């Protein structure tokens, strides 16, 4: 009996210790869309520069192969930030004729977000995607140091009412069509069918009675 009581008290104690953690998780604010894209772009920049391993005295040219792409600034900024953090100060965003320069070229294929309904109508699934090809060239002849295709993805669930607050109106790739219409349509269409059927049945029996 004493052992059972001790085990019960131990379980209650563990539960009380875990409760604050559950409360913290429930109370956490979701990360905004732009911040998630920043994390993904930062990962691409870090991996690229790790592979390139440039000397701190080298000149680095960053060139986008995607003309006027909405995500160009995102990738460029993280290349610049990561290079500065490694002590590299000669960074250019336009072509430079130099035999000592490294050129980082990138071409964005996809950067965007999609929303999908979940079993819980209060929550929506966010699916982030950033895919781009990166190649690094050395010197003016353009010796290819490496080439890699990056596919960064992130998925989570947030409350439906928070979606617009998490988007950034200045950056279209942080926005997506809401799945509200599909959710409402799922309930409205059966209701319309039921109402129409009930009306037909009512009219049928009314006409027969007359």
Which residues touch 176 (CB under 8 Å, ≥6 apart)?
112, 113, 114, 115, 167
pLDDT at residue 66, rounded to an integer: 84
Distances (CA, A) of 149 to 2, 105, 152: 63, 12, 10
pTM more than 0.85: no
Q: What is the pLDDT of residues 92-121, one digit of tens each?
A: 988 777 677 899 999 999 999 999 999 998
30-177 has CATH 3.30.160 classification = yes
Calculate the dihedral angle through the C-alpha atoms of 82, 85, 86, 89, rounding to the nearest 10 degrees: 90
Q: What sign does the dihedral 140-142-146-151 (CA atoms) show?
A: positive
Q: Is 206 helix (H, G, I), strand (E, B) or coil?
A: helix
Residue in the structure block whose two tokens are 């004493």? 2
Q: What is the pLDDT of residues 50-63, one digit of tens each?
A: 998 888 898 999 99
Q: What is the pLDDT of residues 29-51, one digit of tens each?
A: 899 999 999 999 999 999 999 99
Distance CA 51, CA 63 (A): 17
Distance CA 5, CA 11 (A): 10
Distance CA 118, CA 187 (A): 15
Distance CA 132, CA 18 (A): 42
Quick one: what percent of the chain has pLDDT higher than 70?
A: 71
Asked if the model's pLDDT at residue 171 lies above 90, the reply is yes
| Burial status of residue 168 (CB atoms within 10 A of its CB: 0-12, 13-18, 19 or more) | middle
Least confident of 5-14, 87-96, 162-171: 5-14
Tokens for 141?
């002849």
Least confident of 2-11, 101-110, 115-124, 189-198: 2-11
Least confident of 48-57, 123-132, 191-200: 191-200
């Amino acid at each position: 009996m004493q052992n059972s009581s001790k085990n019960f008290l131990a379980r209650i104690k563990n539960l009380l210790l875990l409760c604050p953690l559950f409360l913290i998780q429930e109370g956490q604010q979701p990360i905004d869309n732009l911040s998630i894209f920043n994390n993904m772009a930062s990962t691409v920049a870090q991996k690229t520069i790790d592979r390139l391993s440039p000397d701190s005295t080298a000149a680095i040219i960053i060139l986008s192969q995607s003309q006027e792409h909405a995500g160009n600034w995102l990738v460029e900024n993280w290349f610049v930030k990561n290079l500065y953090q490694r002590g590299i100060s000669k960074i250019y965003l336009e072509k430079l004729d130099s035999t000592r320069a490294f050129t980082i070229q990138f071409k964005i294929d996809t950067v965007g977000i999609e929303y999908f309904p979940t079993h819980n109508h209060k929550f929506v699934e966010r699916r982030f995607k950033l895919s781009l090809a990166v190649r690094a060239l050395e010197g003016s002849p353009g010796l290819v140091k490496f080439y890699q295709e990056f596919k960064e993805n992130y998925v989570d669930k947030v409350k439906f009412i928070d979606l617009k607050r998490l988007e950034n109106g200045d950056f279209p790739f942080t926005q997506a069509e809401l799945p509200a219409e599909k959710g409402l349509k799922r309930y409205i269409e059966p209701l319309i069918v039921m109402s129409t059927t009930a009306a037909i049945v009512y009219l049928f029996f009314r006409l027969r009675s007359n």
